[in-house]
Amino acid sequence: MSTAESVGARFEELYGSAPDGVWAAPGRVNLIGEYTDFNEGFVMPLALPHTAVAAVSRRSDGVLRVHSADARGGVVRLAPDELVPLSDTGWAAYPAGVVWALREAGHTVPGADIHLTSTVPTGAGLSSSAALEVVTALALNDLYELGLSAPELAVLGQRAENAFVGVPCGIMDQMASACCTDGHALYLDTRDLSQRQVPFDLAAVGLQLLVVDTRVKHALGDGAYAERRAGCESGARALGARTLREVEYAHLPEALDRLAGEAPSVRRYVRHVVSDNHRVEQVIALLDAGDVRAVGPILIEGHASLRDDLRVSCDELDLVVTSAVAAGALGARMTGGGFGGSAIVLVETADADTVTKAVEEAFATAGHTAPRVFPAVPSRGAHRVA
Ligand code: ADP
Ligand code: MG
């Protein structure tokens, strides 16, 4: 049985009739451009083959029922009319938040039955939350013929996460899940959501991008995102810029001089964001020129910046990078929010096994939980499957 069929069958068991349709939306890894999306900067994610799959039916009676095969607690029953932001509905806040955001934006969504399951590892920095939001938004867009574009659905998903769930994330994850295409990375300008699909066929040039899920999440991460965000905002203010996007890399030294009176952390955050925006542009230029191997050292620089300037890495992520590079990887860096989660490793296909073993051995020697390693095959964004 296909995933769509089994998800549909489970839907029917739960709700008593077949779903109106089945949709899928992927998780993502980000190649380069980290903590830049809330500074109106550049990012470059690619969608993973791992997806959230949702079977959904319309309801006209003001009832919203949501169920996840992966969460405890059975069917959650809510009323679209009575959805209240930040009301701690657990995991159900993600799909319910999308219903809320659609209705807030003036769309008619009287109710729905939703059953979902996901192969995106949760809390691994691979955007299982965005996959949930985007799959819900796309399903409701199709079923209620709302006519929204993929970027509009992404923005609504972000609004659900920011305002309803209460997580102050940027727009990258939802845009990746909604807009990525097979075999491409998504070069996204988060200022105006303009985008370019960049061919990213690593297999054709004998390379692989590995994802290393460290399977740890350090509690420190919870407040750190908001603190970095606030630091970037005060840096921009002190420079008279609307956001750090406006600070050009060529003028970074002067900008840092002008921030001499600010907290050292603010200067570090500014240096990270401005230099990571520049790294995205460097990577794009290299990919356009077909020089994929030269991306490796830029990933390593990006990791150093996240570790030393933004300070969002951790021992496990640093160990992925050092052990992979020592074993011959072309480059590696943490990806996503940090403090655990996942790293990416660019390797020659011929070296992938050696590098994987080296990372696993380094983790065993350090006494860390065994990491989960898999190739990041650039996959398609959200779509209807049945
Ligand atoms: P990430 O997006 O990096 O995986 P988040 O903390 O942003 O991590 O989102 C993870 C949360 O999303 C989970 O704690 C859960 O509430 C929700 N979630 C993700 N996938 C599922 C799923 N398959 N079923 C139920 N809830 C899920
Ligand atoms: Mg998330």
Supply the DSSP string of 209-272, one letter for each residue: EEEEEEEEE-TTHHHHHHHHHHHHHHHHHHTT-SSGGGS-GGGHHHHHHHTTTS-HHHHHHHHH
pLDDT digits (tens, 9 = 90+) for 226-236: 999 999 999 99
Axis-axis angle for helices 128-143, 172-179 (nearest 10): 50
pLDDT digits (tens, 9 = 90+) for 26-69: 999 999 999 999 999 999 999 999 999 999 999 999 999 999 99
Give kind and range of the element (H or E) at residue 54. Answer: strand 45-58
Determine the pLDDT at residue 89: 82
Tell me which of 91, 117, 167 to substitute to probe ligand 1's pocket, judged by most ligand atoms within 8 Å of the beta carbon: 91
Query: Atom 20 (ligand 1): residue with closest C-alpha?
Result: 128
Query: Which residues, other chains included, contact 93 with Cβ-Cβ below 8 Å and sequence gap of 6+?
Result: 87, 164, 165
96, 343 contact by CB (below 8 A): no
pTM: 0.97
Same domain, 152 and 93: yes
Q: Is 118 in the pocket of ligand 1 (CB under 6 A)?
A: yes
User: What's the 122 CA to ligand 1 centre distance in angstroms?
Assistant: 5
Percent of the chain with pLDDT over 90: 97
Same domain, 102 and 174: yes
138, 200 contact by CB (below 8 A): no
Residue with tokens 């021992």: 315
Q: Is 176 in the pocket of ligand 1 (CB under 6 A)?
A: no
Same domain, 204 and 348: yes
Determine the pLDDT at residue 265: 98
Q: Does pLDDT of 223 surpass 90? A: no
User: What's the 133 CA to ligand 1 centre distance in angstroms?
Assistant: 10
In the sheet where 340-348 sits, what is the strand order? 331-335, 340-348, 207-217, 372-375
**Beta-carbon neighbour count of residue 384 at 10 Å?**
12
Same domain, 209 and 136: no
Same domain, 177 and 279: no
Separation between Cα atoms, residue 99 and residue 244, nearest integer Å = 32
Separation between Cα atoms, residue 330 and residue 348, nearest integer Å = 7
156, 98 contact by CB (below 8 A): yes
pLDDT digits (tens, 9 = 90+) for 243-273: 999 999 999 999 999 999 999 999 999 999 9
**Which positions are catalytic?**
173
Q: Does pLDDT of 357 surpass 90? A: yes
Same domain, 175 and 266: no
Q: Rounded mean pLDDT of 92-100?
A: 98
**ipTM of this model?**
0.99
pLDDT digits (tens, 9 = 90+) for 301-356: 999 999 999 999 999 999 999 999 999 999 999 999 999 999 999 999 999 999 99
Q: Does pLDDT of 220 surpass 90? A: no
Angle at the Cα of 126 from the Cα atoms of 122 and 130, rounded to 5 degrees: 80
**Which atom belonging to ligand 1 lies closest to the Cα atom of 126?**
3
Parallel/antiparallel/unpaired status of strands 184-189 and 194-199: antiparallel
- Per the structure, how many domains does the chain have? 2
Total residue count of the chain as it appears in this document = 386
Same domain, 276 and 316: yes
Same domain, 248 and 345: yes
User: What's the 126 CA to ligand 2 centre distance in angstroms?
Assistant: 7
Separation between Cα atoms, residue 101 and residue 119, nearest integer Å = 25
Q: Does pLDDT of 221 surpass 80? A: no
| CA 302 to the chain's CA centroid | 17
Domain span including residue 320: 200-375
Same domain, 270 and 342: yes
Of 142, 157, 131, the C-alpha closest to 58 is 142
Determine the pLDDT at residue 88: 80
User: Residues forming the annotated binding site?
Assistant: 34-37, 68, 123-129, 161, 225
Read off the CATH number of the domain in which 15 is found. Answer: 3.30.230.10
Q: Rounded mean pLDDT of 123-127?
A: 93
Read off the CATH number of the domain in which 309 is found. Answer: 3.30.70.890
Separation between Cα atoms, residue 78 and residue 380, nearest integer Å = 31
Burial of 48 (0-12, 13-18, 19+ CB in 10 A): buried
Same domain, 258 and 358: yes
Separation between Cα atoms, residue 268 and residue 235, nearest integer Å = 10
The pLDDT-based confidence of 175 (bands split at 50, 70, 90) is: very high
